[in-house]
Chain A
């Protein structure tokens, strides 16, 4: 158990209960996109707290920098220029990173016991010392978040600063955000806070303002306030209805126990057939020598 002060709700590739005697209040990070100014202080704070240094990239003509998430960049601002109403340019800036799904596809897909854990407060964390580098988490994630390190072939992503949260601190990105666009607290409080923000946005003409807490993954512990809640795709292709792929569901759901059972059954069927019908012996035993 990496963090003694956080109990665990679920562990990858484990069929028995996890240590969870104490329980915890579900937490959430709320990212209010209407308040984000794109300063990237959260990216810097993430690098500092987690001791991450990505390679220096190149300018590609847009503000996204670095261009994508990596094992060294656990959060990236994604800038989208859109005209929802013709002639009215909007700059939508979405802080991308792990959404900490309540039903985490990465954890479901992972075959290494304890490499991915879900704390009882909702944070989904990778324990890289148990990671075997198979990449199954990539197939499970509906948000395209985990990234492989070329140094150690292990998967990395945002931890929601589980180490900070474990000792009662807010995540580094929340701490540093200068506009209060990122806030952190219990999921209940954050949902209430979002409702206030959404009411405010609606008053200002954003009729479709909404909270992004997708139920396809049983809700997330990182939520967005979207000005255009009816069009999440505007925000750098935020999925409208994310869910664990049915293929991964099939593979890690029914197939896993059923196919294992089938193999066991075949072996037992052979054994009992032998006991019942007996071997096929050669009738004319003329090869006795």
Chain B
């Protein structure tokens, strides 16, 4: 029997789940305001007006927690030439033919791309959202800027939601992954198979 390898500390896990909870709430309330098909989601927040009131606070919380989380993981997400190779073999990744892939460190190229997508999109969401935040900030900006902000906000939110759909699916798809964020550890075999460079670094094997 092998010993589990520590992947995330308790504080990293808590930070991650704070972002996740805030994201889910911000996304559901944001979708309610985006398309009539989703307006029923406003019922979860106490109606349309409460949704409008709460959404910007939920979004701001998410952004702040995310900034803290991204600072923790920043160093580990530099894209290397091995990552480019990994990306060029994305077809093998999707077909579960992992033998041909270059060794990944703590994060593989897909995870790193998601990281940078979020690092760019979340601040865009925060800033554009503040611009049309009624009634506190919107009155201080000209209407042309509000028009730019609503479109940019919707686009950035869409990118983040798509990114998180992929993120959640990847966690389900790659067995043995979720426990890294719930219990903090992964199995040796998981680490060896999916993040061999990190595995060697952690175990010295």
Contacts and interface: CB of A to CB of B under 8 A. Distances in A.
Interface stretch (A23-31, A175-183, A218-226, A247-255): A247-255
Given A260-B34, A260-B37, A282 B134 contact: no
A282 B194 CA distance: 8
Contacts, number: 141
Interface string B147-162: 1101100110010011
Interface string A249-286: 01100011101101100110010011001111111111
Interface string B187-205: 1111011100000000000
Contacts of B175: 279-282
Interface stretch (B10-18, B93-101, B117-125): B93-101
Given A282-B187, A286-B188, A136 B154 contact: no
B96 A138 contact: no
A111 B134 CA distance: 14
Contacts of A153: 134-135
Interface residues of B, number: 53
A13 B36 contact: yes
B52 to A, nearest CB: 4
B132 to A, nearest CB: 6
Interface string A10-54: 000111000000000000000000000000000000000000000
Contacts of A259: 34, 154-155, 158
B60 interface: no
Interface residues of A, number: 49
Interface in B24-80: 32-39, 47-49, 51-53
Interface in A73-109: none
Contacts of B94: 273, 277
Majority-rule SS of B interface residues: helix
B189 A283 contact: yes
Contact of B150 (A133, A247, A283): A247
B19 to A, nearest CB: 19
B185 to A, nearest CB: 10
Contacts of B147: 139, 245, 247-248
A132 B134 CA distance: 10
A230 B165 CA distance: 54
Contacts of A266: 162, 165-166
A138 B36 contact: no
A131 B94 CA distance: 46
A15 B36 contact: yes
11 contacts: A111-B32, A132-B49, A132-B52, A144-B143, A247-B147, A263-B162, A270-B169, A270-B172, A280-B96, A280-B98, A280-B173
Interface of B: 1-2, 4, 32-39, 47-49, 51-53, 94-96, 98, 132, 134-135, 138-139, 143-144, 146-148, 150-151, 154-155, 158, 161-162, 165-166, 169, 172-176, 187-190, 192-194
